[in-house]
Chain A
Amino acid sequence: MAKTIIEKIIQKHTQDEVKPGQIVWMELDLRTARDFGGPNVVKNYEREYDDEPVADAARTFFTFDLCTTGCLLRYADNQQICRLFARKQGLKVYDVDWGIGTHVLIEEGLAKANTTCVGTDSHMNLLGAVGCFGQGMGDVDITFAFRTGRTWFEVPETVKIKLIGQPDPSASAKDITLFLLRKLGTKVLAEKAAEFYGPAVESLSLAGRITLCSMITEMAGIIGFIPQANEAARQEIERFSGEPWLPFQADSGAIYCQEIEINVAGLTPQVALPPSPANVYDLKEVAGRPINSGFIGSCTNGRFEDLEAAARILKGRRIKEGIILRIVPATRHVYDECLQKGIIEIFRQSGAIVMNPGCGGCAEGHSGLTGRGEVQISTGNRNFPGKQGKGEIILASPEVVAASCVAGYLISPEEL
């Protein structure tokens, strides 16, 4: 029977019949836990399985990225709980010096096309950017996965989305992503997989692919795939994985629950205002709103290309007096590249603060939280009430965040 991409990946990992709605037992190629969720996994594991070994130590990892600054005692405790368990079980720990776990899995060549990977990270599905079926799960699921190497999964239906036309040069991958959230909200992709087609997405860098795939979570979806890539993105994926990139393609005749065309011709920068990521407007509709701080980073926009794009705006400019701009590279690898190419120096001269790699701007334990009354413009992926402190969060691209921090209010880079 003709299959969609998610159906093919699941079929490769199960003996059960794969069709939407069917519950299958699926083999997991990678099982991970973070310093968030990880200590809960250890506690569950020792309660349920005592000293029994994990299913496969070589494919089970911890990735610490929530509290990489070591500023909270409770996370220091939790990280040490995970390290001790890892030592006992012979598991590798990508410790606080590595960066965001999902990105490290790509850079280390662990998350590959057509594989399955789970972890205690709701943005695990950004691995769809390289054709890997990544899925965020809670600590019960992950504990079970550590011990058994498998999980039950309900095969989702797939929505086929074709983007028509080319966005305006001022629009980035984040603007396309926010525009899709504006069009799709949290209903169209709810509990479904997505396949994206069209030059606007197929021309994205790996960083841009990650931006789009990361926010499938905010669309309430399971995972998104972009089965075609441009040469540069393909080369970067292959450099990390060390093998030809051959992601599954959907069969002709594969069955989609919905096929949608979205016109992105001439798309200009977008922003998501509080209280939700789907509350999206054209930047020009809301330009001029004052902001107090900025954040550039996160699993959605923390890659080299994201930081380089911000640096292009900040080069030769100063952040407005009184505005704090925090920048967090996604990984050590990204940080190194920024350092080598003079990006960190541009940030320093602009007055921005560059923190060590990891997650950021998303939860307590991260840099970039907001105080009551503070308005922050952020490249993150969520702006729910109270999530990043008591302030308000506006989601935007790295270019728009950088420009707005120079101006002190929402502004499109070309207006600067």
Chain B
Amino acid sequence: MKIIKGRVWILIDEQGRLIEDIDTDQIYHNAYLHITDISQMGQYALGNLKGYEDFPLKVGQGDIIIAGRNFGAGSSRQQAVDCFLALKIGAIIAPSFSPIYWRNAINSGLAVLRCHHLNDLVSNHRLESGDILEVNVHSGEAFNITKKIAFSIEPMSPVQLAIYLAGNLFAYGRQMVRQG
């Protein structure tokens, strides 16, 4: 049973609303696309997102990012996922993700989770930056430990869960070969 537990980072604008359509150039700018070493990518995470330029300096291992709808719009760059792996981010939760970003994250073993009522949770202050959140990726049960509030997210699909538990698509592929 896999439970993700971490401190919450909510990506909000100046009006306190979840930022929607955060694109891959805001997550990981195209000036650094030539980099192939994952360990070098963390320092650029969210470096072009207004108000979050110093995110890599402040974030901690296992932290959970909460973002608005269509997270990861734009480019197919894997670095927009890898930069969070480099920082050992525990999960990213958003109402929806861009299709390519969604696949890239799943294939790299980064936990991406959909939660359709995030906007309400955030605007009603039932989920705030700094809260400690616990998520069961099998059942979709989420619990804000700090505020003692339970809510639900979409559980991982079978293939997403299998890849996540294997570690990434390559490890999953080897498992499939072994199992014929």
Contact = CB atoms under 8 A, between A and B. Distances in A.
Report if A and B associate in a common complex.
Answer: yes
Interface of A: 23, 36-37, 39-40, 43-44, 48, 66, 72, 74-75, 77-78, 120-122, 124, 135-141, 143-144, 147-148, 152, 154, 156, 186-187, 190-191, 217-218, 220-222, 276, 362-365, 382, 384-387
B50 A40 contact: no
Contact of A37 (B50, B78, B158, B159): B78
A121 B48 contact: no
Contacts of A122: 74-76, 100
Contacts of A186: 20-21, 69-70, 73
A124 B103 CA distance: 15
Nearest to B37: A43
B130 interface: no
B179 interface: no
29 contacts: A36-B33, A37-B77, A40-B79, A74-B34, A120-B77, A122-B100, A124-B76, A137-B76, A137-B104, A138-B77, A138-B100, A138-B103, A140-B78, A140-B168, A141-B169, A144-B169, A144-B173, A148-B173, A186-B70, A190-B69, A191-B99, A220-B73, A222-B99, A363-B33, A364-B31, A364-B33, A382-B23, A384-B25, A387-B23
User: What 10 pairs between A and B have smallest CB-CB spacing?
Assistant: A138-B78, A138-B104, A363-B30, A74-B34, A136-B76, A122-B76, A140-B107, A387-B25, A139-B78, A384-B23
Contacts of B25: 363, 382, 384, 386-387
A137 B103 contact: yes
B144 to A, nearest CB: 27
Given A36-B77, A74-B34, A120-B76, A386 B100 contact: no
A191 B157 CA distance: 15
A191 B96 contact: yes
Nearest to B171: A48
Contacts of B103: 137-138, 141
B64 interface: no
Contacts, number: 120
Contact of A23 (B20, B96, B158): B158
Interface residues of B, number: 39
A217 B48 CA distance: 21
A220 B104 contact: no
A320 to B, nearest CB: 29
Which among B29, B76, B102, B169 has the highest number of chain A CB atoms within 10 Å?
B76
A220 B99 contact: yes
A40 B78 CA distance: 9
A44 B38 CA distance: 11
A141 B107 contact: yes
B70 A220 contact: yes
Interface of B: 20-21, 23, 25-26, 29-31, 33-34, 36, 48, 50, 69-70, 73-79, 81, 96, 98-100, 102-104, 107-108, 157-159, 168-170, 173
A384 B74 contact: yes
Contacts of B21: 186, 276
A188 to B, nearest CB: 12
B93 to A, nearest CB: 17
Contact of B76 (A48, A78, A138, A382): A138
Nearest to A66: B33
B104 A140 contact: yes
Given A154-B157, A385-B48, 14 more contacts: A39-B36, A40-B36, A66-B33, A135-B100, A136-B76, A137-B103, A138-B76, A156-B99, A187-B69, A190-B70, A218-B73, A220-B99, A363-B30, A384-B23
Contacts of B23: 382, 384, 387
Nearest to A191: B99
Q: Which of A75, A124, A186, A365 has the most CB of B within 10 A?
A: A186
Given A39-B36, A140-B104, A276-B21, A387 B78 contact: no
Contact of A152 (B74, B159, B170): B159
A48 B167 CA distance: 13
Contacts of B98: 220
Given A37-B78, A144-B170, A382-B74, A138 B34 contact: no
A121 to B, nearest CB: 6
B38 to A, nearest CB: 9
Contacts of A120: 76-77
A121 B108 CA distance: 18
B107 A138 contact: yes
Contacts of A364: 30-31, 33
